[in-house]
Amino acid sequence: MLPSRRGRPARVPAALALLLAVTAAGALAACGDTGGLRGAGATPAARSPARLWPDLTPASSPAYDIGEVEHAPVKGVTVPGDDIRRADPVAAVRAEIAAHPDDYADAKARYHETSVHMADCGADGAGAGRGGCPVLRPYYRDLTGDGRPEMTLGFRLLPDKLTAVRVYTVEKGRLVQVMSYDDAVSAVELAGRTVIVRSPSEVAGYEYRLQWTWDADQRAMLLTSDEMLRTDDGGRHTKRPSASPSPSSTPSPSSSSSPSPSAAPSTSSPASAR
């Protein structure tokens, strides 16, 4: 570009001016494409579900009792100051064992080994999650929405290598069990007001994902979702369902920062309905 005096435009050689004009035109043309709408191809027509056997008489009652509602006061376990964190988790498991002697007491009972190993938990419940004690560490989270935490507890059902998952709340000074599920468990999660249990499937590449959510009318955690999901080689879902709300805070264990669920189906659990 040639030097210019103040107030006068610089002189541009003709060849350079032509080059600048072509460049500017190309830039403007490119900008014109940005954000433009493009066709995505043909859209398949929406179809409503096809109802089969419309003349079939609807069932009026369930065929099987799979224990949809669990609301049972736990006898003999105190809750000092109505603070569930002060309730003894080992005492809660011992109360359940005492209430079901056919499953635990007799030497030939299915889970007799669990009752034997309860001696490793100690007298005050401090042994939960330690050594040979079958009771896992409890976790505390408000699952009912009343501003107070519930206790989510697990214990191993031996020798089957199953896991019993329980949820307890407090009502009028009493410890009350509001969820009960036994299965071969690969993971347990708390999300919002929901307990999620993942279990291995008999079909390779799949797992079960069961979800319990608090229901104020039934005063219990209800099984609200039972899915069979495909997983990749790492055990993660290749398709994630829309889940419950993310937890507002991490669950607080009694003495550790990470849960250690393991595995377990009882005759009254929803697993029998699969």
Query: Which has the closest alpha carbon to 264: 163, 139, 116, 158?
Result: 163
pLDDT in tens, 112-164: 999 999 999 987 667 787 888 999 999 999 999 999 999 999 999 999 989 99
Is residue 88 scored above 80 in pLDDT? Answer: yes
- pLDDT recorded at residue 101: 94
Look at residue 264 and tell me whether its pLDDT is greater than 50: no
9 vs 187, residue with greater confidence: 187
Report pLDDT for 189. 97
Predicted structure pTM score: 0.68
- Can you tell me the distance from the alpha carbon of 207 to that of 29, in angstroms, rounded to the nearest whole number? 53
Q: Give the residue with greater pLDDT, 133 vs 48.
A: 133
d(CA 183, CA 199) in angstroms, rounded, equals 7
Q: Is a pLDDT exceeding 60 seen at residue 49?
A: yes
The three-point CA angle 214-210-248 to 5° equals 50
